[in-house]
């Protein structure tokens, strides 16, 4: 997952609103979002290579999403898969706080990551790279957040664009089409805007769009979701091929079940 725009407890009647893209090699085997047979309360896509997930939500309101870090110091292969960080929280019972403090003790076993976790009461963030790793897990106040492959709210052009578009959505109940516009702009950022963030390479330019089309690598799917004070959870995962064409969509709406 390479772009997440999230509104946390700042929209009337909608405790959580998310628009996100997963960018990945198209050759990597992936299952589209579904309720998992071995975890019936979990709605998420699945990385079939290592078994984890990049983003998911459960019937009892647990949410998790992860992005990779582009910190050069943390790009080497690591003993454990980052996809298990989201999965183990989603199918577990620990609070976000307790889970992240436990993960922090073994964070060096994973390549660089940014992790967002939520339950019905709180939203937390933790990264194992840079100053954020030293600071440790932290609870996030109500607000609008953006995350790509640097630390939370690093003002990359695609992140700033997404936050601006999310902030302009009407306060009434969103729809999946409107949420999708928050993260689906295919235009590359200007070199000047990238240079301001220290992004000067050819790869930085190629990956600067929200919606990436780079041949064998690109935006594989977008997820739009929101929760409601009534207890309803709304979800859609839209999948794409190498040309950017829509090849599938999974839409779910279900009630919050705290006993699930």
Residue 58 or residue 196, greater confidence: 58
Instruction: Give the number of other CB atoms < 10 A from CB of residue 260.
Output: 14
Residue 20 or residue 78, greater confidence: 20
Mean pLDDT of 146-172: 93
**HSE value, Cβ hemisphere, 13 Å, CA-based, for 248:** 12
Does residue 220 have a pLDDT over 90? yes
At 224-260, the pLDDT tens digits run 999 999 999 999 999 999 999 999 999 999 999 988 8
pLDDT given at position 83:
94
- SS in 3 state form for the chain? CCEEEEEEEEECCEEEEEEEEEEEECCCCEEEEEECCCCCCEEEEEECCCCCCCEEEECCCCEEEEEECCCHHHCCCCCECCHHHHHHHHCCCCCHHHHHHHHHCCHHHECCEEEEEECCCCEEEEECCHHHHHHCCEECCCEEEEECCCCCCCCCHHHHHHHHHHHCCCCCCCCHHHHHCCCCCCCCCCHHHHHCCCCCCHHHHHCCCCCCEECCEEEEEEEEEEECCCCEEEEEEEEECCCCCEEEEEEEEEECCCCC
C-alpha 258/C-alpha 228 separation (Å) is: 14
Does residue 197 have a pLDDT over 90? no
Q: Which residue has the tokens 């689906």?
A: 184
C-alpha 176/C-alpha 237 separation (Å) is: 9
pLDDT given at position 135:
77
Instruction: Give the number of other CB atoms < 10 A from CB of residue 123.
Output: 21
pLDDT given at position 191:
84
> Domains of the chain by range and CATH?
3-255 (3.60.60.10)
Tokens representing residue 55 in the block? 């983003």
pLDDT given at position 133:
66
pLDDT given at position 194:
83
At 61-109, the pLDDT tens digits run 999 999 998 765 545 667 789 999 999 999 999 999 999 999 999 998 9
């Amino acid at each position: 997952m390479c772009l997440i725009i999230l509104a946390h407890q700042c929209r009337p009647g909608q405790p959580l609103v998310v628009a996100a893209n997963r960018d990945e090699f198209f050759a990597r085997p992936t299952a589209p979002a579904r309720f998992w047979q071995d975890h019936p309360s979990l709605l998420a896509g699945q990385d079939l290579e290592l078994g984890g997930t990049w983003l998911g939500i459960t019937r009892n309101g647990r949410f998790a999403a992860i992005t990779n870090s582009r910190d050069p110091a943390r790009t080497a292969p690591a003993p454990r898969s980052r996809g298990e960080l989201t999965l183990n929280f989603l199918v577990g019972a620990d609070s976000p706080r307790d889970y992240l403090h436990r993960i922090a003790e073994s964070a060096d076993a994973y390549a660089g990551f940014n992790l967002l976790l939520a339950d019905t009461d709180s939203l937390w963030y933790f990264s194992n790279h840079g100053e954020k790793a030293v600071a440790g897990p932290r609870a996030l106040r109500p607000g609008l957040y953006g995350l790509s492959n640097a630390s939370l709210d690093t003002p990359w052009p695609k992140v700033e664009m997404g936050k601006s578009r999310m902030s302009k959505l009407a306060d009434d109940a969103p729809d999946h089409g409107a949420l999708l516009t928050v993260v689906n702009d295919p235009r590359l950022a200007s070199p000047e805007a990238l240079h301001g963030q220290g992004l000067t390479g050819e790869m930085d330019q190629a990956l600067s769009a929200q919606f990436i089309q780079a041949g064998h690598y690109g935006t594989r799917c977008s997820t739009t979701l929101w929760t409601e004070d009534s207890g309803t959870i709304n979800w859609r995962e839209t999948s794409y091929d190498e040309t950017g064409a829509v090849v599938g969509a999974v839409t779910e709406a279900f009630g919050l079940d705290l006993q699930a």
